[in-house]
């Protein structure tokens, strides 16, 4: 692993503010550094995590790296253009990548990832039993945090394969569209506490046969539950929990391993945010949470910023001119159209100013976090061309070319 990271992109264990401004984030230095092995894009829903992950992955590939991008919920057309419409949980080569590197992409299939873990951990007999159990089916598709945990599980798998077979030298990870900023990092913890939870312990008790008191308590509860839920329900639940006991040891251990992997040098977190008060507040929360967990933060991506309006006219000047036109030439359609355009210009200038103020506020609160601003494109980002353009904006070459400006 390289030790020659330049400070412009070196992920920092963000500590207390030092008073020094970190300045712009050098995305190209980050993705070009052979020491960068994993990039995780996190942030609240809808800010552009999936787009940023895919754009970064494509740019890194076109600059020569062997990249795999693990996406969670790509928009339909984007998935199509990357050849990952099918949820088969296997990375597939993306067609149309230029240059000497390579890009594979996959879309996470949460349920299948869960099944794969069961199959790899339990005996075939036991695995079959678990996979068919109604509780397993419910848990694997809807347990709170399952998606977060499975994303970590898949990252761990791909990382192990990449290490063993030398398939990839950079893994870019998209994160689930969780409401809560904590979900991704909390997944191993949450799974552990679920498994160590009293309910599960109680259900496992007869199988392990400890204290009489517990057993007495258990049969009381069992009887009550049987009355309410029916014998089959309880039997399914007990079979499930007992069977999973063997499997979960492996689960927990690997969740911890992946958690350590995220903390390691060579991993870089990018927090993605929209230039809005709420999104930036959530981004602050992310930055703080990553710091609490001692996770390596590379920087902040402010995505979909309002593009700077052309021309020198300030918002006030535009409004004054519009007002003057309205008063002196109110009858002329051309005049009222011009006044409308002037007001529109004023709105856009003010929007850009508002966004800059919000970014400045963030920078003042977190001066150690390098930032890159990506303007909103005119339309959605749904093909390689669009990803290339976003990649260019991330890397600081506004024309979207792959080589440094
Ligand atoms: N810089 C951008 N300019 C224009 N559209 C964008 C930009 N970034 C993202 N989008 C669009 O915004 C929508 C949400 O982006 P997405 O990456 O799916 O967000 P997330 O993964 O955070 O939920 C998508 O339709 C995407 O094409
Ligand atoms: Mg997404």
Residue-wise pLDDT tens digits, 141-157:
765 566 777 788 889 88
CA of 118 to the centre of ligand 1 (A): 34
Residue-wise pLDDT tens digits, 348-396:
999 999 999 999 999 999 999 999 999 999 999 999 999 999 999 999 7
Mean confidence (pLDDT) of the chain: 81
Taking CA atoms, 345 is separated from 72, 318, 321, 350, in Å, by 38, 7, 11, 9
Instruction: Tell me the three state secondary structure of residue 381.
Output: coil
Six token digits for residue 49:
């995590």
Identify the nearest ligand to the CA of 374 by its number. Answer: 1
CA angle 399, 361, 370 (to 5 degrees): 45
Among 27, 44, 48, 184, residue to substitute to test ligand 1 (most atoms within 8 Å of Cβ): 48
Backbone angles phi, psi at 28, to 5 degrees: -65, -40
pLDDT over 60 at 19, yes or no: no
**Which residues hold their Cβ within 5 A of ligand 2, which is an ion?**
49-50, 73
Q: Which CATH class, in words, describes the domain spanning 7-123+146-188+252-309+365-395?
A: alpha beta
Ligand 1 atom nearest residue 74's Cα: 18
Identify the nearest ligand to the CA of 46 by its number. Answer: 1
Q: Whose CA is nearest to atom 15 of ligand 1?
A: 48
Q: How confident is the model at residue 325 (pLDDT cuts 50, 70, 90)?
A: confident
Residue-wise pLDDT tens digits, 200-239:
555 555 444 444 444 555 566 666 666 666 667 667 777 7
Overall average pLDDT of the 187-193 stretch: 63
CA angle 184, 186, 187 (to 5 degrees): 70
Exposure letters 56-81 (e unless 16+ CB within 10 A, then b): bbbbbbbbebbbbbbbbebeeebbeb
Q: Output the pTM of the full model.
A: 0.82
The ranges assigned to domains in the chain are 7-123+146-188+252-309+365-395, 315-356
Instruction: Tell me the three state secondary structure of residue 59.
Output: helix
Q: Which run of H or E residues covers position 248?
A: helix 231-263
Q: Whose CA is nearest to atom 12 of ligand 1?
A: 48
Q: How confident is the model at residue 4 (pLDDT cuts 50, 70, 90)?
A: very low
Give the model's pLDDT for residue 210: 45
């Amino acid at each position: 692993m390289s030790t020659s990271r330049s400070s412009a992109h070196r992920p920092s264990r963000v500590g207390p503010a030092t008073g020094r401004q970190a300045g712009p984030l050098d995305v190209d230095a980050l993705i070009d550094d052979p020491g960068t092995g994993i990039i995780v894009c996190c942030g609240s829903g809808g800010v552009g995590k999936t787009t940023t992950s895919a754009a970064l992955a494509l740019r890194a590939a076109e600059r020569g790296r062997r990249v795999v991008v693990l996406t969670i919920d790509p928009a339909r057309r984007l998935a199509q253009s990357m050849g990952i419409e099918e949820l088969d949980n296997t990375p597939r080569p993306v067609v149309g990548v230029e240059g000497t590197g390579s890009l594979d992409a996959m879309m996470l299939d949460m349920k299948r990832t869960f099944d794969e873990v069961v199959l790899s951990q339990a005996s075939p007999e036991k695995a079959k039993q678990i996979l068919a159990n109604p509780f397993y089916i419910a848990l694997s598709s809807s347990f709170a945090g399952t998606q977060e945990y499975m994303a970590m599980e898949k990252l761990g798998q791909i990382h192990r394969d990449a290490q063993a077979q030398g398939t990839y030298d950079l893994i870019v990870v998209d994160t689930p569209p969780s409401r809560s900023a904590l979900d991704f990092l909390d997944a191993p913890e949450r799974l552990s506490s679920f498994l160590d939870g009293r309910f599960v312990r109680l259900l496992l008790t007869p199988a392990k046969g400890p204290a009489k008191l517990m057993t007495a308590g258990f049969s009381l509860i069992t009887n009550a539950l049987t009355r309410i839920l029916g014998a089959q329900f309880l039997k399914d639940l007990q079979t499930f929990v007992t069977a999973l006991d063997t499997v979960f040891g492996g689960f927990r251990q690997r969740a911890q391993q992946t958690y350590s992997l995220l903390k390691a040098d060579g991993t870089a977190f990018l927090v993605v945010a929209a230039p809005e008060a709420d999104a930036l507040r959530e981004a602050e929360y992310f930055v703080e949470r990553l710091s609490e967990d001692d996770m390596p933060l590379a920087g902040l991506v402010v995505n979909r910023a309002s593009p700077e309006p052309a021309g020198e006219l300030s918002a006030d000047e535009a409004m004054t001119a519009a007002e003057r036109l309205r008063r002196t030439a109110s009858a002329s359609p051309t005049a009222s159209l011009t006044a409308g355009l002037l007001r529109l210009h004023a709105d856009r200038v003010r929007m850009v100013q508002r966004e800059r103020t919000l970014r400045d506020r963030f920078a003042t609160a977190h001066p150690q976090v390098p930032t890159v601003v990506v303007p909103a494109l005119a339309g959605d980002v749904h093909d390689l061309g669009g990803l290339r353009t976003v990649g260019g904006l991330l890397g600081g070459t506004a024309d979207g070319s792959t080589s440094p400006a």
